[in-house]
A and B are shown apart, each in its own frame.
Chain A
Amino acid sequence: MVAIRIGFVLSLAALAHADDFTEKIRPVLAENCAKCHNPANPRNRLNFLKANAATDVETQRSLWRNVATQLRNRTMPPGEAKMAEADRMDVANWIETRLRNTGCTSSEYAGFVASRRLNRREWKNTIRDLFGLDVIAPDLFPADESGGAGFDTNGETLYVPPMMLERYLEAATTVLDRIVVTPPFNKVVLSHELNPMTAPPKGIKPSRFVDPEVELTTNVSVLAEGPYTIRVSVERPKLTPFTLKVKVDGAEVGTLSYARDSGGGATARLATATLSRGAHTISVVTGTERVEFYSVTVDQRPTPMAAEKRALHFQLLGLEVGQSPVDPRAAARRVLRQVLPKAFRRPVEDAEVEQFLGLYDRGAKRGDPFEENVKLALKAVLVSPRFLFKVEEPDSRPGIQRIGQYEMASRLSYFLWSTMPDAELLQLAGAGKLQDPAVLAAQVGRMIDDPRSRVFANGFMGQWLGTQEVGGRSMPLLTELQHFYTPEAAADLREQPELMYHYLLTANRSLLELLTGNYTFLTERLVKYYELEGKVKLGPGPGFHKVDWPDTKRAGVLGLASVLGMTSHYKEASPVLRGAWVLETLLGTPVPPPPADVPPLDAVKASNKKLTMREMLAKHRENVSCAACHNLMDPIGLGLENFDWMGRWRDTEADGRPVDASGALPSGEKFDGPEELRGILLQRKEEFLRQLVGKTLGYALGRGLQDGDQCTIQRLMDNLAKDGYSARTLIRDIVVSTPFRNSQSDAVVSESHGPAKKAPRRLLGTK
């Protein structure tokens, strides 16, 4: 039986009147859930049906959030129970809206941010600012996960499996090898020192006679991996030429030939081998002849050195390449004292410096060169949890507590620059000024004006919209499109939304321009991509230029080919994907996955081959289960039908019929084409701003948003509305907000809920 249809239209659930609970919401839940969640049954532990009024929902927040999640994820009601799709969505929306609207009735909330590992972007930028060295991080690490609000800044999903730790060890070596120049390795082993050893020669010549088919060995310990030469010096054969085999760790690396020379005298031949850091056994094996040996020399082959490396070496150690300090240990301590506070982003006590100096001593004891020993200590710095994690030492006191000065410096710099704090931030932290709202506001301004804020714009927009995948997994490059869709064009498409957002930040424009701004950033390649030759005029010079679109079809992010292309199927624009994207990404209203028992769109199409996309979708919506969501998704997507699967404009369908981009939302608003659709979306700017504010807050905090954050979001939205939605206001307000400046170690984190894991039965599965 179908439940009483709830009267309101989804998009207007924003109101979520309290009266609706008793009249509409509870009856639906009672009908669908009471069988198992009977409030009269003492064994029923999830007693949400005990609620009789909307106020009960507001006070049992996590229980009701769970109810909404279960409905949305289609995990409840289970199995055969049939809940009308429209009811499912309406109830979930009502609960979520109610919880949101009443967020500020509960006490103040700061939440807890766990120590977060630097993600790949942050690691790369931090290394750059620490040492002046640019490394290509994707060659060293796998890409990071994202989570929470959907960003790679989310601490809970920045894992540290053993493989990552191995990579960090290796990356530390790679980085330090590229900065510090160690004197090249050289070792001469005289003939009598070769194993088996003999007494030093007593004659004039420092030589030794070795019988045929004898293996002489020596051990060397090299410091750096790379190419080495092994030079074997012997007396020239006067009668019969001979060969010697050279082995490293038992594996043959070369055969050396010595030609006959009646004059005699010493001569040498070379073998080459790549040696890893560590001990190796070098051996020389004689052939059929008796050989008079002089020595074996192992040399590191010089690698060309750029002036840049000399500069980096000097900058780190305060010494020219090859120059030795007078007091090496004191010099090492000085280097560590300089590097550690920067690397750990806070002051460092002497005792900690001494710990790292212990590693210097380890190498020094072996007699290794100064440079290598400093490297060993710095290697530990670069794999230390204090470097790899944004450590926030928690306050053991319960409740909301201000975080420390240096922690504020790191939160700020990783939020807006994705790198370590600069000297000014550290200095302000040292002066205890980074909890002063006026200072924070001034710093936000300074940081946005700094070119490094582009990193934030890129990371935030690329991940929020999903456009960072364009040219890879979204809108993959295809041979058939290479006349306009090149790797460079894809990179340009990725940059478009990032540049737009960065412009909003730097010029302090209204965030609503993300929906309405009728301008964009184009390169010559993009002019070709968008087929705008002759219609727009770019400024002089290569690269991007800000231009107005020639007409009003493409204003805002919904006009960008990246967004339109990634929500298309191969060779077919998808109104469903586009509608779902607008609802979820722009408006923050997740659409549930399709129920299990409905015929997929494909099957509809297969049986009706002549149908247009519009007709096919209409047919699909005849099914009540499908209609609940498709009524919401399809019209929005159909309004974008003028954009083809690559986001290029089209006036006609593939079969020549004119494109129909008209539609009507369930709430009754009618529109035709993208401009009118945008007008309707603008009426829902509350939802859009809530989504944008939540996403920005989630990116900034590096954690998933909790129920308690609703109040912060509401306040941010209120302020934003007062300030003309200006982009800087939002960033500034986030930085001075309660969760950004505080920590709450006893914060309640909502749990996830799946079906109970059943105990397995013992049955055999095959016949």
Chain B
Amino acid sequence: MVRQFSRRTILRGIGAAVSTPWMEASLLGAPKAAVDGLSEPPLRMACLFIPNGVRPDFWTPPGDGEAYEFTTHLKPLEPLKNDFLLLENLWNKNTVGRNGHWPKVPAWLSGGFVERTTGGDLDAGGRTVDQAVAQRIGHETPLMSLELGIDAPRTGIDTAGGGFPRALGSFLSWADPKTPVPKEIVPQLAFDRLFRNRRAPVVSGLDPKSPEVLGSLQRDETSVLDLVREQARALRAKGSKTDQARLDEYFESVRSVERRLEASMKPQKRWINEGKFPLDRPVAGTPATHKEHLQLMLDIMLLAFWTDSTRVATMMMGDAQSSQDYGFLEGVKGNWHGISHHRDIPEGRGQYEKIVNWQMEQFAAFLTKMKSLKEGERSLLDNSMVLFGSSLKCGNRHLEENLPLILAGRGKGTLRPGRRVRAEAKTPFCNLHLAMMHRMGVKEESFGDSTGVLGGLA
């Protein structure tokens, strides 16, 4: 059973009472001498997703200038007004006129055309931008990328909603059109993932190829993987073509874990922050309240960035059709998706607005924390690009046009925040993806259904 715990027990928990040296060592950054540090902080990219849309007239400010008034939904971000761009008129054309939720999730970061299948031939239409970046630069950090969320994946086919596999709505990140990247939803597992391969150095000063190191405990997993990789190879050799797909994936995963283990034994060129990040190892289980759960997952993302464990992360603040109970908000009764279909009846609509505003408050708190984390002269937020938004404009009517989107941070000086950027109506969202890819050092000519690089950001 899942154990529940309160915020207080986390703080009193394992980190304070029993210290875990390898973790603390990791939190402090590895011993300076062992690591060849970067001379300046790297650029990070985060994508935060909310399901179920927003109320359009509470989001989009009137007028069309760079300056704008803060609408109800944007109000919580007002103190941060010089730290983000409000993006307008972007959309994913391939999601138009299909199911209200499921295909819009993989398409959010890929722009792909999601097939309506029963799963065997699952095809999300494309690779997502975070994975496109991670596949290129992920080897520079212990984790290629970090995928976080709140809800356990849904299964089955949505027979009441047009026959799409529900799995589509549970994965923001796709390594390729057929392979979703599972997200971590349990705080402790997510936390441990950051440090899994960064235990103490083998025996410092020894050549990684020396017999002592090769025979050491740390290399045991590598030798286990060597053996099973050979088994997979033998099976593949016998298997038919159809059978090879999954065994190939297994084989590739073994190699990927091996590479990660190898990398953990070598000093990596990483950015090391001074001081200690204020987060203890969460206790097992799912936190008792949604708010604690969400904040903890977001803290873990910051910890990952701050320790330079990864430079690419995604977070689903709820899966498609999230049915999270928001009864904890004053005056709200019921679940998110249910309330999002308020049919413009004032009572339900009022509850919907409260839920969206609450998401905005959480996002604002996240950005504020990022801003408070200093990295040399600047802040973590300055060295990041944080995309936030939803895959539909209006939760009630599933509108696809002019998605509600925010791009926060200064992107290490490649973004000029504090403005509204209005693209032409119906500009592919992928133009923004391409712009972010370029900033992350992945120079592609196109991405998804992009028609160019989104300009006006700098």
Do the two chains belong together in a single complex? yes
The distance from the CB of A581 to the nearest CB of chain B, in whole angstroms, is 5
The chain B residue with its CB closest to the CB of A609 is: B345
A413-421, A728-736, A746-754 - interface stretch: A746-754
For B52, the chain A residues whose CB sits under 8 A away are none
Q: Is the CB of A605 within 8 A of B343?
A: yes
A592-B162, A766-B423 are contacts. A158–B246 as well, Cβ < 8 Å? Answer: yes
In the complex, A746→B20 CA distance in Å? 54
B284, CB-defined interface residue at 8 Å: yes
Q: Give the residue of B25, B167, B217, B243 whose beta carbon is less than 8 angstroms from that of A251.
A: B25
A110-118, A402-410, A671-679, A707-715 - interface stretch: A110-118
In the complex, A278→B231 CA distance in Å? 26
Q: Is the CB of B113 within 8 A of A114?
A: no
The chain B residue with its CB closest to the CB of A757 is: B113
- Among residues 422 to 469 in chain A, which have CB atoms less than 8 Å away from a CB atom of chain B? 463, 466, 468-469
Q: Give the residue of A139, A359, A766 whose beta carbon is less than 8 angstroms from that of B454.
A: A766
A40, CB-defined interface residue at 8 Å: no
A149, CB-defined interface residue at 8 Å: yes
Q: Is the CB of B451 within 8 A of A148?
A: no
For B319, the chain A residues whose CB sits under 8 A away are 473
In the complex, A278→B197 CA distance in Å? 12
Q: Is the CB of A157 within 8 A of B120?
A: yes
- Among residues 200 to 221 in chain B, which have CB atoms less than 8 Å away from a CB atom of chain A? 200, 202-204, 215-218, 220-221
List 15 other contacts, CB 8 Å, given A393-B239, A765-B428, A766-B427: A115-B243, A116-B246, A136-B1, A250-B25, A253-B21, A278-B199, A385-B231, A466-B156, A580-B159, A593-B99, A596-B97, A754-B113, A755-B113, A758-B449, A763-B452
Q: Is the CB of A606 within 8 A of B119?
A: no
A521, CB-defined interface residue at 8 Å: no
Q: Is the CB of A383 within 8 A of B397?
A: no
B235, CB-defined interface residue at 8 Å: yes
A48-56, A163-171, A716-724 - interface stretch: A163-171
- With most chain B CB atoms within 10 A of its CB, the pick from A139, A275, A766 is A766
- Among residues 113 to 154 in chain A, which have CB atoms less than 8 Å away from a CB atom of chain B? 114-117, 136, 138-139, 142-152, 154
A155-B246, A158-B246, A569-B338 are contacts. A477–B325 as well, Cβ < 8 Å? Answer: yes
- Among residues 119 to 165 in chain B, which have CB atoms less than 8 Å away from a CB atom of chain A? 119-123, 125, 151-157, 159-163, 165
Q: Is the CB of B284 within 8 A of A139?
A: yes
Q: Is the CB of B323 within 8 A of A152?
A: no
For B196, the chain A residues whose CB sits under 8 A away are 166
Some 29 contacts from A to B, beta carbons below 8 A apart, are: A114-B246, A115-B243, A142-B153, A146-B119, A146-B155, A156-B121, A156-B245, A165-B257, A250-B31, A278-B199, A281-B204, A380-B228, A383-B225, A392-B243, A393-B238, A466-B159, A469-B154, A473-B154, A476-B324, A476-B325, A570-B338, A570-B341, A580-B159, A584-B160, A593-B116, A603-B397, A750-B121, A758-B449, A765-B455
A145-B153, A389-B250, A571-B334 are contacts. A760–B121 as well, Cβ < 8 Å? Answer: no
For A276, the chain B residues whose CB sits under 8 A away are 20, 22, 199-200
In the complex, A745→B240 CA distance in Å? 7
Q: Is the CB of A570 within 8 A of B339?
A: yes
In the complex, A310→B83 CA distance in Å? 60
- Among residues 159 to 197 in chain B, which have CB atoms less than 8 Å away from a CB atom of chain A? 159-163, 165, 167, 175, 179-186, 193, 196
Interface membership of chain B positions 93-106, coded 1 if the CB is closer than 8 angstroms to chain A and 0 otherwise: 00011110000000
For A219, the chain B residues whose CB sits under 8 A away are 203
A703, CB-defined interface residue at 8 Å: yes
A161-B179, A169-B257 are contacts. A156–B22 as well, Cβ < 8 Å? Answer: no
Q: Give the residue of B235, B327, B446 whose beta carbon is less than 8 angstroms from that of A479.
A: B327
The chain A residue with its CB closest to the CB of B158 is: A466
A279-B217, A765-B454 are contacts. A156–B122 as well, Cβ < 8 Å? Answer: yes
Q: Is the CB of B424 within 8 A of A767?
A: yes
Q: Give the residue of A136, A147, A169, A476 whose beta carbon is less than 8 angstroms from that of B119.
A: A147
The distance from the CB of A536 to the nearest CB of chain B, in whole angstroms, is 30
For B40, the chain A residues whose CB sits under 8 A away are none
- Among residues 23 to 42 in chain B, which have CB atoms less than 8 Å away from a CB atom of chain A? 24-25, 28, 31
In the complex, A733→B116 CA distance in Å? 31
Q: Is the CB of A147 within 8 A of B335?
A: no
The chain B residue with its CB closest to the CB of A566 is: B160
Q: Is the CB of B325 within 8 A of A272?
A: no
For B353, the chain A residues whose CB sits under 8 A away are none
Q: Is the CB of B235 within 8 A of A115?
A: yes
In the complex, A219→B212 CA distance in Å? 13
The distance from the CB of B433 to the nearest CB of chain A, in whole angstroms, is 11
B421, CB-defined interface residue at 8 Å: yes
Q: Give the residue of B22, B31, B247, B325 whose beta carbon is less than 8 angstroms from that of A478.
A: B325
B344, CB-defined interface residue at 8 Å: yes
A256, CB-defined interface residue at 8 Å: no
Interface membership of chain B positions 437-458, coded 1 if the CB is closer than 8 angstroms to chain A and 0 otherwise: 0000000011001111111100
For B202, the chain A residues whose CB sits under 8 A away are 278-279
The chain A residue with its CB closest to the CB of B337 is: A570
A272-B18, A584-B163 are contacts. A766–B455 as well, Cβ < 8 Å? Answer: yes
CB-based A-B contact count at 8 angstroms: 363
In the complex, A758→B126 CA distance in Å? 13
A542, CB-defined interface residue at 8 Å: no
In the complex, A77→B216 CA distance in Å? 64
In the complex, A345→B121 CA distance in Å? 29
For A279, the chain B residues whose CB sits under 8 A away are 200, 202-203, 216-218
The chain A residue with its CB closest to the CB of B239 is: A394
Q: Is the CB of A149 within 8 A of B245?
A: no
For B163, the chain A residues whose CB sits under 8 A away are 584, 590-591
In the complex, A590→B21 CA distance in Å? 56
Q: Is the CB of B167 within 8 A of A146?
A: yes
For B284, the chain A residues whose CB sits under 8 A away are 139
A17, CB-defined interface residue at 8 Å: no
For A166, the chain B residues whose CB sits under 8 A away are 193, 196, 257
For B231, the chain A residues whose CB sits under 8 A away are 384-386
For A358, the chain B residues whose CB sits under 8 A away are 227
Q: Is the CB of A277 within 8 A of B217?
A: yes
For A761, the chain B residues whose CB sits under 8 A away are 451-452
The distance from the CB of B236 to the nearest CB of chain A, in whole angstroms, is 9
Q: Is the CB of B228 within 8 A of A383?
A: yes
In the complex, A493→B404 CA distance in Å? 38
A600, CB-defined interface residue at 8 Å: yes
Q: Is the CB of B250 within 8 A of A249?
A: no
Q: Is the CB of B424 within 8 A of A765?
A: yes
The distance from the CB of B51 to the nearest CB of chain A, in whole angstroms, is 12
Q: Is the CB of B180 within 8 A of A159?
A: yes
In the complex, A165→B228 CA distance in Å? 11
Q: Give the residue of B180, B398, B422 whose beta carbon is less than 8 angstroms from that of A145.
A: B180
In the complex, A247→B28 CA distance in Å? 14
Q: Is the CB of A169 within 8 A of B325?
A: no
In the complex, A275→B166 CA distance in Å? 41
A279-B218, A383-B224 are contacts. A764–B452 as well, Cβ < 8 Å? Answer: yes
B9, CB-defined interface residue at 8 Å: no
In the complex, A281→B203 CA distance in Å? 8
The chain A residue with its CB closest to the CB of B155 is: A146
In the complex, A391→B118 CA distance in Å? 23
The distance from the CB of B132 to the nearest CB of chain A, in whole angstroms, is 14
The chain A residue with its CB closest to the CB of B33 is: A250
B253, CB-defined interface residue at 8 Å: yes
Among all A-B residue pairs, the 7 with the closest Cβ atoms = A147-B119, A596-B97, A570-B338, A704-B120, A248-B21, A593-B162, A760-B446
A115-B243, A147-B165, A752-B121 are contacts. A365–B215 as well, Cβ < 8 Å? Answer: yes
A14, CB-defined interface residue at 8 Å: no
The distance from the CB of A586 to the nearest CB of chain B, in whole angstroms, is 9
In the complex, A463→B160 CA distance in Å? 14
B6, CB-defined interface residue at 8 Å: no
The distance from the CB of A547 to the nearest CB of chain B, in whole angstroms, is 29
B60, CB-defined interface residue at 8 Å: no
B82, CB-defined interface residue at 8 Å: no
Q: Is the CB of A584 within 8 A of B159?
A: yes
Q: Give the residue of B21, B117, B453 whose beta carbon is less than 8 angstroms from that of A752.
A: B117
